[in-house]
Amino acid sequence: QVQLVESGGGLVQAGDSLRLSCAASGRTFSSYAMGWFRQAPGKEREFVAAIGWGGGSTYYADSVKGRFTISRDNAKNTVYLQMNSLKPEDTAVYYCAADLSAPSDLERGYDYWGQGTQVTVSS
């Protein structure tokens, strides 16, 4: 089992930055690829970013490419999502997820999920 706890969400203005953190406990963190997904009100959950076990491989949704950066610190069992130049359309609940296989943009590829953290971007 892996437990994931997100933090760092909040209310910001358009153009601001936020850094989300996801702390993992349980099985060996470095064995997992990690991903961030988000769900806006009335919409389905969507892929945001993913990172491989060692941090060398990263993947992004087109909507966040160039603005968001995913990273991980295996010594701290934590994955981060640095979000810059935030837009109102980034408003959503952000979830981190752990995948025992390769990083993926598909929800069904992930084995464990956090409870989410709310990000609200005002215009």
Residue 26 predicted with pLDDT over 90: no
* More confidently predicted of 54 and 98: 98
Confidence of residue 102 (pLDDT cuts 50, 70, 90): confident
Confidence of residue 92 (pLDDT cuts 50, 70, 90): very high
* More confidently predicted of 29 and 27: 29
- State which H helix or E strand residue 113 sits in: strand 112-113
First to last CA, the chain: 40
Specify burial of residue 83 (Cβ count, 10 A radius: 0-12, 13-18, 19+).
buried
